[in-house]
Amino acid sequence: MGNEAVKIGLRGTIVIPADLRKQYGLNEGTLVLAEPVAEGILLRPVAMVSVELYSKERKAEFLLNTAVTEEDYRWAVREVEKLGLDPASVPHEKP
């Protein structure tokens, strides 16, 4: 696989040669990072990581269930109250 010139199209699109796409696992919809480097522009595939967003109720449950001492539990109760929730309404076990 040698170097191959590519043309920049409408809206900055670039068609990456098929052999390079196959070699690097680049398919339609693959995200790449465009990074400026001394030699020009480096395109690298981006790894996406799923992020879970927790509701106030789920945060409260986590805080209360992970308390291991009475002091931890009292702190967790205060944090849950700061979330605007009643700790007694959150399913959990006291330490």
Closest CA to 33 of 25, 22, 41: 41
Residue 51 lies in a domain: no
Residue 65 lies in a domain: yes
What does pTM read for this prediction? 0.49
Same domain for 14 and 41? yes
Dump pLDDT digits (tens) for 29-42: 889 999 999 999 99
Domain of residue 17, residue span: 10-45
Q: Using 70 as the pLDDT threshold, list the residues of the chain that sit under it.
A: 1-2
Counting the structural domains of the chain, the total is 2
Closest CA to 35 of 24, 44, 27: 44
